[in-house]
Amino acid sequence: MSKVCELSGKRVMFGNNVSKALNRTKRRFDANIIKKRFFIPEEGKWITLTVSTATLKTINRKGISAVLKDARSKGIYKG
């Protein structure tokens, strides 16, 4: 399973570890992704999504229906 948010499209990024002597080695910045079940009252069903914690805060603020509608209009979420 890849670490990609299904609603925002956030994914891993790559960069460098930089030591005090400015030696650089490659590293990976993982997205903070969790698997969460949501109930959609308009459809009367549960869905399971992998979302980033930042997107989870947005869902708590706006509501799952508004966030899903926005993601569908942007073409990120197909479900």
pLDDT tens for the chain, 79 residues long, are: 688 999 999 999 999 999 999 999 999 999 999 999 999 999 999 999 999 999 999 999 999 999 999 999 988 888 7
Q: Where do the domains of the chain lie, and which CATH numbers do they carry?
A: 13-74 (2.30.170.40)
Written as six digits, the tokens of 59 are: 């869902």
Q: What's the full length of the chain, in residues?
A: 79
Note the Cα 70 to chain centre separation in Å: 14
**CB neighbour list of residue 69: distance below 8 Å, 6 or more residues apart:** none
pTM (whole model) above 0.85: no
Distance CA 38, CA 66 (A): 13
